[in-house]
Structure formats: C-alpha cells, structure tokens
Structure 1
Amino acid sequence: MSPTATIILIVVILVVIAAVVYGVQVMRRKQLQNTFGPEYDRAVADTGSRTEAEKELREREKRHASFELKPLSPEAQSTYAANWEEVQIQFVDSPVEAVTAADDLVTRLITDRGYPTAEYDDRLANLSVEHARTLEHYRKAHEISRRNSAGEANTEDLRQALVHYRALFADLLGADPVPSTGTTTPTAPVSAPAAEESTSEAPAPRTPADESPARDTSR
C-alpha cells in the first residue's frame, strides 16, 4: 500500500470513529431529553453548559436507580385521595391552612413512594427522573406556599397553589385524587399540562356543595 493510500485509509477511519462518537452523543442526548423533558432545558440554563447539564442529569439517573421506589396499594391510594378531598374542602373556610396541609400531604406522599427525605432542591432533583413534566407545578406551588408562610399570598394565589400541588399529587398517586362524577366541576386530568401553559382555566378547589362528606381516615 502506497503512503498516500495509507494516509487516506487513516483519514477515513478517523472520520468513521468521529461519526460513531458523534452518533452516540446525539443518541444519549436524545435519551436525556426524552427522560427529563423540560427539566433538560432548565438544567442547561442553570449550568450554562450542555456538557455539565448532561453530566448532572446522568448523575440523577444513577442516584434514582438506587432508590427503592414502590407503587401505592389500592388502600393507600384511597386514603390519600380522601385526604386530598379533605384539603380541598378545608380550602373553602381556611385557604391558608389548606395550602400548608397540601404541602405536607405531597411531602408525605413523596416519602411513601420511596423517595429519600431530602432538602427541597434535592427532592426536585430526585423527582425529575420520573416526574419531570409535573415538576414545574411543584416549584410554583412551593413558591406560593413560601409566600403563604410569610403572609404574602392572596386567596387567588392560594387557589393556584392547590391546583399546582394537585398536578404533582396526581402524578405521584397514579390517579386523579378527586375524579369527576359528571355532576361536579370538571377536574384536571392526571397527565397535567406543563406548568408553562396557562393555568387560568384550571378549576378551583370544589366547594362543600360539590363534595361528598370527607371520609374519616383516622382509622
């Protein structure tokens, strides 16, 4: 083989290797984008580097794989749905307390699903692997809850917080906690729309006239 042919062969091999490496990178990037949805773009924006963001997201996947996550039993689902219904009824007379109760209930559900007890930011990272598409709802609800604790949230803010909490709550629960019966105000579907979309049409928590009496879940 002549020196020229050897050089051409080496160049071709290098081009093929580069194409394979690039293809693998594209495939892995696409996989991360499919897994994390809007959280992928948020991670890129937060880190300022696509490479660093993808490294962080892969670390989240590894950490998530170590969790012993478990689905809720039908009995636990029913109990949580009843508890949520009570929170919505409580909102009518005590919206401030209801939003606090919603935050506590969501946190308890996160723990019962098998996610480790963690600080809020860590909780977001842990949830982002399987619940990325409702995570922005959680952020907005948490921010309103923080303002609520400082006495800075009005009733409409609190109503929106409950709508946002319900989106993540339903995602974790695996069912709409207050399904429509055909005679009550329609509720949002389980696969809640991304929080970037308008929530102005989201239903308000139902009133006592709409609700059946809260079940006693203390037993």
Structure 2
Amino acid sequence: MSATLTIVLIVVVLLLVAAVVFGVQAARRRRLRQTFGPEYDRVVADTGSRAEAEKELHERTKRHSQLELKPLSAESRARYSAAWEEVQIRFVDNPGEAVSTADELVTRLIAERGYPTGGYDEQLADLSVEHAATLEHYRSAHDISRRSREGQAETEDLRQALVHYRALFADLLGENPVAHLTPEPRRASEDAETSTESSTETSTDPGVARSRPDATSR
C-alpha cells in the first residue's frame, strides 16, 4: 500500500469518526431540547457555555432517575383540589395570605410526589426534567411571593402569582384543580354594598315584618 493511499484511508476514517461523534452529540442535544424545552436555552445563557449547560442538564436527568417519584392517589388528588379551591376563595378577602398558602400547598404537593424540598434551586433543577413547561410559572410565582413578604407586591401581582402557582399545581396534580379562573379580590366598596344590601333585605323581609307589634292593635 502506497503512502498516499494510507494517508487517504486515515483521513477517511477520521472523517467517519468525526461524523459519528457529531451525530451522537446532535442526537443528545436534540433529546435535551425535547426534554427541557425553554429551560435548555436558559441554562445555556446562565452558564455561558453550551457544553457546560448540556453537562448540567445531563446531571439533572441522572439525578432525576434516582428519585422515587410516585403518582397521587385519587383521594390525594381530591384533597389537593379542595385545598386549592379554598385558596382561591380566600384570595377574595386576603390576597397576600392566599398566595402564601398557595406556596405552602405547592411545596407539600412537590414533597408528596417524591421530590426533595431541601432548597428552592434544588426543587427547580429536579422539577425541570418532567415539568419544564411550567417551571417558569413557578419562578414567577416564587418571586412575587417573596416580594409580597417584603410588602412590595400589588394586588394584581398577587393575582398573577396565584395563576402561576396554579399552572405548576395542575401539572403536578395531573389535572386542573378548579375549572374557574382566579377570583378578583374583594374591594372595600363591595363590602359596604354587601352590608347595605343585607340590611335592606332584613328590613323588608315579610317574616321580620310580621314579628313586629302592630301599632293599630294597641
């Protein structure tokens, strides 16, 4: 075999190896994008390196495979749905307390599904493998909840937080906890109107009128 032919064969082999490696990397990148969706681009931006980001996401997948996740029973799903409806009812009169309760409820649900709850960043990493589509909702809700505790969140912010929490809550639950939208908080003027209407209904109720003494009978 001539030296020229040997060199050509070596070049061909190297090109084939490079093509195989490139194909494997492309397939791996495609799987990561399909699994993590927008989280893939976020991690790339955070790390500043595609290779580092893919290494991080691969580690998340490996760690996730070691978790003992479990589905909820029908009883648990019903209990959580009822608890969420209570949160939405509470939002009408106390938005801040409702958002705080929603945060606690989501954390309990995360734990019952089998995810670690040691820290917020750890929760995000573990949830990103199966719940990447709603992870941004969790980030937004958590940020508003933090600002609420610091007294820096407006009522509309709190309503949005509840909407964000519900997105992750429904994803973890496997169903929409309630069909209706988040109610608007009660305004002070509405409380006054309700009180006035109640007073009017009481004074014009036939039963109440009959219970009063008739002045003409005296």
Query: Do Structure 1 and Structure 2 share a fold, with TM-score over 0.5?
Result: yes
Measure, in 2, the Cα distance between the counterparts of 1:96 and 1:24: 50
1:12 Cα offset (Å): 0.3
Give the letter for the 2:163 counterpart.
V
Aligned match of 1:69: 69
Give the letter for the 1:107 counterpart.
T
Give the letter for the 1:204 counterpart.
T
Check the 8 A contact 2:40/2:53 in 1, yes or no. Answer: yes
TM-score by length of 2: 0.83
1:206 Cα offset (Å): 6.7
Measure, in 2, the Cα distance between the counterparts of 1:40 and 1:69: 23
Aligned match of 1:154: 154
1:204 Cα offset (Å): 3.2
Give the letter for the 1:44 counterpart.
V
Aligned match of 1:119: 119
Check the 8 A contact 1:137/1:164 in 2, yes or no. Answer: yes
Alignment of 1:1-219 (within 5 A): 1-179=1-179, 187=180, 203-205=181-183
Measure, in 2, the Cα distance between the counterparts of 1:207 and 1:14: 67
1:163 Cα offset (Å): 0.2
1:207 Cα offset (Å): 8.0
Give the letter for the 1:116 counterpart.
P
Check the 8 A contact 2:138/2:165 in 1, yes or no. Answer: yes
Measure, in 2, the Cα distance between the counterparts of 1:6 and 1:65: 46
CA deviation vs aligned residue, 1:82-110 (integer Å, no higher than 9, x gap): 00000000000011100000000000000
Q: CA RMSD in A?
A: 1.3
Give the letter for the 2:149 counterpart.
S
Give the letter for the 1:86 counterpart.
E
- Which structure carries more helix by proportion? 2
Check the 8 A contact 1:88/1:206 in 2, yes or no. Answer: no
Q: Specify every segment of 5 or more residues in structure 2 that has no aligned partner in the other structure, as ranges.
A: 187-218
Q: Specify every segment of 5 or more residues in structure 1 that has no aligned partner in the other structure, as ranges.
A: 180-186, 188-202, 209-219
Secondary structure of 1:121's match?
Answer: helix
CA deviation vs aligned residue, 1:148-175 (integer Å, no higher than 9, x gap): 1011111100000000000000000000
Check the 8 A contact 1:84/1:102 in 2, yes or no. Answer: yes
Give the letter for the 1:163 counterpart.
V
Measure, in 1, the Cα distance between the counterparts of 2:36 and 2:162: 24
Bigger shift: residues 39-48 or 116-125? 116-125
Aligned match of 1:200: none
Measure, in 2, the Cα distance between the counterparts of 1:159 and 1:50: 36
CA deviation vs aligned residue, 1:103-146 (integer Å, no higher than 9, x gap): 00000000000001221011100100000010000000000000
Q: Cα distance 1:25–1:61, how it changes in 2: closer, same or farther (>3 A)?
A: same
Secondary structure of 2:68's match?
Answer: coil
TM-score by length of 1: 0.83
Higher-Rg member (1/2): 2
1:70 Cα offset (Å): 0.4
Measure, in 2, the Cα distance between the counterparts of 1:134 and 1:87: 20
Check the 8 A contact 1:115/1:126 in 2, yes or no. Answer: yes
Check the 8 A contact 1:162/1:205 in 2, yes or no. Answer: no
Secondary structure of 2:96's match?
Answer: helix
| Paired-residue identity, % | 69
Measure, in 2, the Cα distance between the counterparts of 1:206 and 1:73: 31
